[in-house]
Amino acid sequence: MRFTDRRHAGRSLAEWLRSPDDDTAGAAEAGAWPYGAADPLILALPRGGVPVAAEVAREFRAPLDVLVARKIGVPGSPETGIGAIVAEEPPVFDRRALQFLGLAEDELAPSVARERAELHRREDLYRRGRPEPGITGRTVLLVDDGLATGLTALAALRHLRRRQPAHLALATPVGSRNAVGELSEEADRVLVLHQPDHFRAVGEWYDDFGQVSDDEVIALLGTSSSVA
């Protein structure tokens, strides 16, 4: 299974979420929320998760907002994620990777500080003075464009769990089986449309996996279902 771009992936995911293969959610009429709990909220992990989540929010006529998380990269190789942060939470690290690379958490403090500053910049830019949405007692569906290591989603799920949602689920078009298995211990449900047998990177499952801009994120938040 391949996706043309993130919007196509979001539409495919939304259609599947309405009646997934295991049929545990069951089919629902257009606009109805099929997961058995009222007051749903769709949260996207920006930037790549926003175009995907916008399609899901549109399908279910649910409010859309963002939860900004940042990857902590390996020194000298920033694209290789070794941890993640959300809000003011302590970093979540891949401890096996730290041990393998011979790194201590303290050595990553400059990277954490730099990513924390970027996280706050994006929160201010995307939210524009709006308060964070209420989480307690709601059904929260966290959406990203794919799961590789799952570290960013892990940090986000732990942050959301502490805010006491009634039901916490993670949904994505494509993900590695290892990440799905580990995250299943953090969310009430992990809903992944495509789990390839051989997974190397999220981008290999998209024809167009270009970077999403801040302007696109802001535009999608403005045109999608009202933020709540």
C-beta neighbour count of 54 within 10 angstroms: 26
Report the distance separating Cα 228 and Cα 213, nearest Å: 23
What is the number of alpha carbons within 13 Å of residue 88 lying toward its C-beta? 0
Report the distance separating Cα 190 and Cα 112, nearest Å: 27
DSSP states along 7-30 = HHHHHHHHHHHHS-TT-SS----T
Say whether pLDDT at 21 is over 60: no
pLDDT at 128: 87
Strand-pair category, 77-86 with 92-93: antiparallel
pLDDT at 164: 95
pLDDT at 226: 52
pLDDT tens, 117-139? 999 999 999 988 888 899 999 99
pLDDT at 9: 98
pLDDT tens, 156-176? 999 999 999 999 999 999 999
pLDDT tens, 30-47? 455 666 566 889 999 999
* Percent of the chain whose predicted confidence (pLDDT) is above 70: 89
pLDDT at 28: 44
Confidence of residue 24 (pLDDT cuts 50, 70, 90): very low
Report the distance separating Cα 193 and Cα 3, nearest Å: 11
- For 48-67, what is the mean pLDDT? 95
User: 195 with 173: CB under 8 angstroms?
Assistant: no
C-beta neighbour count of 31 within 10 angstroms: 10
Mean pLDDT estimate for the chain: 90
CB burial of 103-137 (b: ≥16 within 10 Å; e: otherwise) equals beeeebeebbeebbeebeebbeebbeeeeebebee
C-beta neighbour count of 7 within 10 angstroms: 15
Higher-confidence residue: 224 or 155? Answer: 155
Say whether pLDDT at 180 is over 70: yes
Say whether pLDDT at 94 is over 70: yes
Range list of H helices, the chain: 6-18, 49-60, 95-101, 109-127, 151-161, 177-183, 214-223
Say whether pLDDT at 27 is over 50: no
Report the distance separating Cα 91 and Cα 73, nearest Å: 12
pLDDT at 81: 87
Say whether pLDDT at 22 is over 70: no
Poorest-pLDDT segment among 38-47, 67-76, 85-94, 217-226: 217-226
User: 144 with 44: CB under 8 angstroms?
Assistant: yes
